[in-house]
Amino acid sequence: MTATKDKEPVLDEGRLQSLIGYRIAKARLATQTLFARHIGTPFSLRAVEYSLLMLLHANRVLTPKQLSRALALPGPNLTILMDRLQARGLIERVRSEVDRRSQQALLTAEGQALARQLDDLTPNVEQDLDGPLSRGELVMLAELLDKVANATRDRGGEAAESDD
């Protein structure tokens, strides 16, 4: 580290700066902060709860297996998550009409209302996050992040447990 007069020393991040995982982690901190400010705190939602609600909003009805795969959550973790959202009156679980042995999840009326509200709010949150990026950079970033996520999944990697 070097210091200049009346300035804070410049931090040498060393090898970290060349690591993609480090850069993703730094970007994740920014997304977590914005999410907490605009959605998490005001609506008492964790990111994974938001994601589950928005998946059901987009698809109407999903099986736990579909949700588990989409959210990269092990079955037991998904069950706990769904229990929490069901206790809040946001989702319900019903038996499949096609296969009575199978459960399906769907939004309650309260869950639908919340999902619509979140859907309306989300573009503002995204705008705060992606403001410094051009349209082309946003497309490229999305493609690259998908590529990294899919490569990990294709190699049999599982998402780490998170309290998002």
The predicted-structure confidence for 70-118, as pLDDT tens digits, reads as follows: 999 999 999 999 999 999 999 999 998 888 788 999 999 999 999 999 9
Number of Cβ within 10 Å of residue 154's Cβ equals 8
Burial 14-34 (b: 16+ CB within 10 A, else e): eeeeeeeeeeeeeeeeeeeeb
| Strands, sheet with 61-62, edge to edge from the N-terminal-most edge strand | 61-62, 103-107, 91-95
In whole angstroms, give the CA distance from residue 77 to residue 30.
25
Kindly report the average pLDDT of the chain as a whole number: 89
**What does residue 92 show for φ and ψ, rounded to 5 degrees?**
-135, 155
Total length of the chain: 164
Give the pLDDT score at 160: 44
Give the pLDDT score at 8: 86
- Judge whether residue 154 has pLDDT over 70: no
Q: How many CA atoms lie within 13 A of 123 on its CB side?
A: 3
Which domains does the chain carry?
A: 46-123 (1.10.10.10)
Model confidence over 12-34: pLDDT tens digits?
888 898 899 999 999 999 999 99
For 32-57, what is the mean pLDDT? Answer: 97
In whole angstroms, give the CA distance from residue 82 to residue 76.
10
Q: Tell how far CA 112 is from the center of its chain.
A: 18
- Judge whether residue 161 has pLDDT over 50: no
pTM for this predicted structure: 0.81
